Amino acid sequence: MAKAGSNLNLDGQGNPVWLLLELTYKCPLKCAFCSNPTDLDAHQDELTTAEWKKVMHDARNMGAMQIGFSGGEPTLRKDLEELVAEANDLGYYTNLITSGIGLTRKRLENLKKAGLRHIQLGFQSSDPQTAHWLAGVDCYEKKINMAREIKALGFPMVLNVPISSLNIHQVPDIISLAADIGVEYLELANVQYYNWALVNRDQLMPTREALIAAEAQVAEAREQLGDSMTIFFVIPDYYEGRPKACMNGWGSIHLTIAPDGVVLPCSQARSLPGLDFPGVRDHDLASIWHESESFNLYRGDSWMKEPCRSCSEKEQDFGGCRCQAMLLTGDAANADPACSKSPHHHIVQDAVASALASKQDHSRLIARDVGWVPTEM
């Protein structure tokens, strides 16, 4: 999922700091808010173990320090432990971003031995029925068990809960559950509307009243829990009026490698039409980062149009998200329409109105139905 910007206080001095490996698009879940491409079946030719190792090595030489193993479901790769060990040896801080399905106690122990530092577990709901609706399969018990195993092995853990109209009323229960499991960080991340989530936007968008209520509940919980758990509540940009500082700017510090080796400034960028992203099978990673047309297209601010070009906030938000500008206005160089200064802001306001007017009925959610692999629960 596109992040609002990572937490860091250094710049890459022109080099990537974050490397995200999308090891596979395959997944045992069918989430209605999945951020993978809707045409993901077209990109299933996954890199080999040796090819992934070369990517990690090359990015480390360029200065990357944090590595995320993601997907799809990264644990479906049998070589995950081997890749984590290699990353650890290279000096990366290793993060696993998983649904927990595909993990076992044994694999967790082996990942620990391999040097895995941190696990981000995706979680849908504190209620098994809602979790089933959102993920498309019955996985609640398995996830809770894995969360407890992760803590038992002493991994720091982020519980990441995509928030939508279907679970926003459960925020207090979700916080209690996270506290009971003993997670260090709880990320209540309002769903961002790309790919599958955009398909389901009318069904998923919460009301402003629900957001205000959830924010108050989060504030109350922070007061009660003190330092024992950090709760992040990421406001949806459709409501905020200010765009997110997406990826800290295009081609600034983030490098994403898709399952087939295509190199992207973020995992959503593949959906931009007309852009030809090079892959590591054909080109050197450093030359893609520094010299490719696709990485230079929206780097810096010379590509900006008005109102971004003369905006006093362009150094803070970089004009927002290029993918969202493309998806909603038809031109990635436009200001992100989440910005209230954008001449297209009415599109976001109309989407909010449309979601409110539609009968929000979760039986109409469209489950991600490609790249699904059945797994023993």
Partner 1 sequence: MADSNNHNSLARFSIAPVFMFRWEESQQAHVLMYPEGIVKLNPTAGEILTRCNGANTVEDIVHQLSELFCEQPEFIEPRVHQFLEVCHGKGWIQPQS
CB of 37 to partner 1, least distance (A): 23
Q: Which residues from 175-214 bind partner 1, rule CB under 8 A?
A: 184-185
CB of 64 to partner 1, least distance (A): 9
Nearer to partner 1, 166 or 246 (CB): 246
Nearest to 256 by CA among 10, 25, 11: 25
Q: Which residues from 54-93 bind partner 1, rule CB under 8 A?
A: 62-63, 65-66, 91, 93
What is 299-359 written as a DSSP string?
A: SSSTT--TTTTT-TTHHHHTTS-HHHHHHHHS-TTSPPTTSTTSTTHHHHHHHHHHHHHS-
Listed in sequence order, the DSSP H helices in 226-337 are 237-240, 285-291, 293-296, 314-317, 322-329
Among 106, 154, 302, 357, which residue sits at the site for partner 1 (rule: CB under 8 A)?
A: 154
Query: Which two structure tokens, joined as six digits, stand for 161?
Result: 């809960």
Hey, what amino acid is at 238? Y
Among 77, 118, 244, 322, which residue sits at the site for partner 1 (rule: CB under 8 A)?
A: 118
Cβ atoms within 10 Å, residue 265: 28
> Residue 327 contacts by C-beta under 8 Å, 6 or more apart in sequence?
194, 198, 271
Is 8 one of the binding residues for partner 1 (CB under 8 A)? yes
Contact track, partner 1, 12-51, x by CB under 8 A? -x-x-x----------------------------------
CB of 82 to partner 1, least distance (A): 20
Is 126 one of the binding residues for partner 1 (CB under 8 A)? no
Nearer to partner 1, 99 or 203 (CB): 99
> Residue 220 contacts by C-beta under 8 Å, 6 or more apart in sequence?
none
CB of 225 to partner 1, least distance (A): 14
Among 75, 95, 252, 324, which residue sits at the site for partner 1 (rule: CB under 8 A)?
A: 95
Query: Which two structure tokens, joined as six digits, stand for 187?
Result: 């990320």
Query: Which two structure tokens, joined as six digits, stand for 147?
Result: 């969360």
Q: Which residues from 220-259 bind partner 1, rule CB under 8 A?
A: 227
CB of 366 to partner 1, least distance (A): 30
Nearer to partner 1, 65 or 321 (CB): 65
Cross-strand partners of 96: 69, 119
User: What φ, ψ does residue 185 adopt, rounded to 5°?
Assistant: -130, 130
Cα separation, 137 vs 73, in Å, equals 14
Nearer to partner 1, 192 or 342 (CB): 192
Is 363 one of the binding residues for partner 1 (CB under 8 A)? no
Window contacting partner 1 (CB under 8 A); options: 113-121, 169-177, 277-285, 342-350: 113-121
First to last CA, the chain: 25
**How far is the CA of 78 from the CAs of 57, 103, 201, 304, in angstroms?**
20, 11, 34, 44
CB of 10 to partner 1, least distance (A): 4
Window contacting partner 1 (CB under 8 A); options: 151-159, 254-262, 266-274, 303-311: 151-159
Number of residues that bind partner 1 (CB under 8 A): 24
Nearest to 99 by CA among 6, 175, 2, 33: 33
Nearer to partner 1, 91 or 300 (CB): 91
Cα separation, 195 vs 263, in Å, equals 18
Cα separation, 139 vs 128, in Å, equals 8
Nearer to partner 1, 159 or 218 (CB): 159
Is 9 one of the binding residues for partner 1 (CB under 8 A)? yes
Query: Which two structure tokens, joined as six digits, stand for 295?
Result: 């990485």
Window contacting partner 1 (CB under 8 A); options: 8-16, 34-42, 47-55, 341-349: 8-16
The three-class DSSP label of residue 372 is: strand
Among 117, 142, 201, 344, which residue sits at the site for partner 1 (rule: CB under 8 A)?
A: 117
Is 158 one of the binding residues for partner 1 (CB under 8 A)? yes
Cα separation, 147 vs 103, in Å, equals 10
The bridge status of strand 254-257 relative to strand 18-22 is parallel
What does the binding site for partner 1 look like in residue numbers (CB under 8 A)? 6-10, 13, 15, 17, 62-63, 65-66, 91, 93, 95, 117-118, 120, 154, 156, 158, 184-185, 227
